[in-house]
Amino acid sequence: MRSKNISASMLEIVPIRSDSRARARVKVRPPAFLGEPEPDTSVGQEISKAGVGIILCAGALIGLGGFLFFIGGLLTTDGITGFVKGWLTAFTGI
């Protein structure tokens, strides 16, 4: 019979009592990774986290679209001066 390597942290020795009931002590372990919910987290809190994530993603997409439109405007005009002149003309009407 082979002996298994069991470390001291895995095995806790509890003295045997006369009533001979088995007792186990369970250690609470921290979440394995960042996104895992904690044991006392409510459903409403998790839904709020998902909602914030969706709003952040939508904001990022809107910002990326604005940046791409800005680059497209720079490329279709005569550089930055033509872009600013065209923007001022569109804004003021002069």
Give the model's pLDDT for residue 37.
59
pTM of the entire predicted model: 0.49
Give the model's pLDDT for residue 23.
66
- Give 28 or 65, the one with higher predicted confidence: 65
CA pair distance 91, 53, nearest whole angstrom: 35
Percent of the chain with pLDDT over 90: 28
- Alpha carbon separation from 58 to 16, 61, 74, 80, 88 (Å, rounded): 60, 5, 25, 29, 29
- Give 1 or 62, the one with higher predicted confidence: 62
Give the model's pLDDT for residue 43.
83
Helix axis angle for 43-76 and 80-92, nearest 10°, is 110
- Give 31 or 59, the one with higher predicted confidence: 59
